[in-house]
Structure 1
């Protein structure tokens, strides 16, 4: 009898520490096109309808820094709500303005600069909401930043300032390193975070791994055994790219890969050699012998990543799953059924 009483508390502890079962997933997409890209396509509209998408995280602009200009907006979006709403749409989308702020902004700014930045970010978001969203009410802002231990205090100061100015829910993206090491990297002072389960490795740092999504690398960051102190949503990659190396020097990245794939010969895992001189998009000229690192994200790889995420993360009952990003060229690599699984697998 004594052994039974000793075992029961242990069993209770094990089960009480288990993951909360996700009961509801809100399907979402990131929209990350700048204003020099077409704003919409029929394929993208159909995906939003077929996948019952009601929420879009739309990059409104980015913030960069120079000594001459200070902080300034770049890469503004060409997104227009009207271009995604037609007679088949049953309701309006919830649009979450998203702003990517480069880490150099916080390296170079003092508190007075950050007070001004919070005002300017809020002003531009409101301006674009009127112009692009037909004055659709915005209830949330998401800030995207690769902050470091040395910039976290300034970044967190900015987030605290933005909250009362905007009078909106503030969310932030969360990379895997700060997720694993919250004591070192801090917990951002926001209402919730979206865990970015991609871009795990510096693209040029490890030539043997897929820098977008390496499953072993992903699990090594997630197996903390602790629940993150904020509500946690998830973002997954639905894009692939090719890194181009000419004369053994990195020269750029290609996203539209369908034209070049027939002219490649695999020389080792992830690596290919160009077999025919090829012009891509009238801009990039590939020569015979050029090397290509093809980092492909297949549906099977995403499903395996979801299994790892579910195994290691303690979620709330309701979460948002956001795919990066809404781009016809990339989404052509997946069937509607596969995309649907990227959402529904979280509640299985």
Structure 2
């Protein structure tokens, strides 16, 4: 009998594998889902079994909530799909919103999309940067969605919602996804608005006290900021260093920005002479740094790291092993 128990203990200890790194997953944030070869190979290389797909946004039209930019599936991913619905803060700030009716419409529209494409989902994630003024409505919406279906429910968590959680509250969800990016104001200064370690340090010390189970979302996107006389004009999404270096009409300044030498259309936008482009991205070294810092402050190791977002332009910027390397730092 004692030998039998010893065998069982050894068996369960071997299966538990506490040192296993978190799973690697991705957000897919295009309106049309059509995975290319690079995106498919990235999912396969990282053994990704889940894909977080933006289904639609909810905004206000004539004071009423309305779905915006519904997803179109050209191909159906092999991974388990987790629908993500982005709720604009204006919706949950509204004093006249019928929350139960909104929850019913969200579910009905989601199920309509699933039925059209033959997709089955058992989980829903809401993305909303709720504030003190919209907290009550957002939390009521989460409760109403739970009443609609017995599904797994999650939501995104911003850093300020962690730091001030006594005031911003804890959402009633199965888990949250900590969005560890978009930490600053998009501006002409030298700070990287996607990720700044000094800014992050003012928030992450509170992670050890945050009571909700968390997964972590890390950025792999980039953009260029179009500047004119020190003022932000527009964003150039997915702009990479390779796009601007050695460009005949751009010259890199001492401050690291790229000056437009002559008026023209570049990267789909009209630039005047002397306009500037400020590049913002997250290097592979920075991803590893982020993971190390988070691993030291999270209350418990996350079981999943979700990279934002799966796109050939983004993943081509990194070595193929970077996502696994990053996840392993959370052991």
What's the TM-score bracket when you normalise by the shorter of the two chains? 0.7 to 0.9
Match of 2:44 among 49, 69, 75: 49
Tell me how far apart the structure 2 counterparts of residues 269 and 79 of structure 1 sit (CA, whole Å).
43
Residue equivalent to 1:246: 228
Provide the TM-score with structure 1 as the length reference: 0.83
Taking a change above 3 Å as real, the CA distance of residues 261 and 123 of structure 1, as seen in their structure-2 partners, is farther
Taking a change above 3 Å as real, the CA distance of residues 280 and 52 of structure 1, as seen in their structure-2 partners, is farther
Task: Tell me if 1:79 matches 2:73.
Answer: yes
Residue equivalent to 1:229: 211
Tell me how far apart the structure 2 counterparts of residues 27 and 80 of structure 1 sit (CA, whole Å).
24
Residue equivalent to 2:5: none
Task: Tell me if 1:303 matches 2:288.
Answer: yes
Give the deviation of 1:215 after TM superposition.
Answer: 1.1
User: Unpaired runs of 5+ in structure 1?
Assistant: 1-20, 85-91
Provide the TM-score with structure 2 as the length reference: 0.87
Task: Tell me if 1:170 matches 2:153.
Answer: yes
Q: For 1:198, what is the secondary structure of its paired residue? A: coil
| Paired residue total | 310
Tell me how far apart the structure 2 counterparts of residues 269 and 176 of structure 1 sit (CA, whole Å).
29
Residue equivalent to 2:30: 33
Structure 1 residues 1-348: aligned runs within 5 Å: 23-35=20-32, 39-66=34-61, 68=62, 70-82=64-76, 84=77, 92-110=78-96, 113-132=98-117, 134-136=118-120, 138-204=121-187, 207-224=189-206, 226-257=208-239, 258-263=242-247, 264-269=250-255, 271-275=257-261, 277=263, 279-281=265-267, 283-316=268-301, 319-347=303-331
Instruction: Kindly indicate whether the alpha-carbon contact (under 8 Å) linking 2:24 and 2:324 is maintained by their aligned counterparts in 1.
Output: no
Tell me how far apart the structure 2 counterparts of residues 268 and 115 of structure 1 sit (CA, whole Å).
55
Instruction: Kindly indicate whether the alpha-carbon contact (under 8 Å) linking 2:221 and 2:238 is maintained by their aligned counterparts in 1.
Output: no
Q: For 2:326, what is the secondary structure of its paired residue? A: helix
Residue equivalent to 1:15: none
- Once the two structures are superposed, residues 214-254 of structure 1 have per-residue CA deviations (whole angstroms, 9 ceiling, x without a partner) of 01111211012633211110000001111101344422111
Taking a change above 3 Å as real, the CA distance of residues 140 and 298 of structure 1, as seen in their structure-2 partners, is same
Q: For 1:346, what is the secondary structure of its paired residue? A: coil
Tell me how far apart the structure 2 counterparts of residues 332 and 225 of structure 1 sit (CA, whole Å).
32
Instruction: Kindly indicate whether the alpha-carbon contact (under 8 Å) linking 2:21 and 2:328 is maintained by their aligned counterparts in 1.
Output: no
When the two chains are superposed, the root-mean-square deviation of aligned CA atoms in Å is: 2.1
User: Unpaired runs of 5+ in structure 2?
Assistant: 1-17
Tell me how far apart the structure 1 counterparts of residues 73 and 182 of structure 2 sit (CA, whole Å).
24
Tell me how far apart the structure 1 counterparts of residues 329 and 116 of structure 2 sit (CA, whole Å).
37
Taking a change above 3 Å as real, the CA distance of residues 40 and 280 of structure 1, as seen in their structure-2 partners, is farther
Q: For 1:336, what is the secondary structure of its paired residue? A: coil
Tell me how far apart the structure 1 counterparts of residues 106 and 123 of structure 2 sit (CA, whole Å).
13
Residue equivalent to 2:9: none
Instruction: Kindly indicate whether the alpha-carbon contact (under 8 Å) linking 2:291 and 2:327 is maintained by their aligned counterparts in 1.
Output: no
Give the deviation of 1:78 after TM superposition.
Answer: 2.4
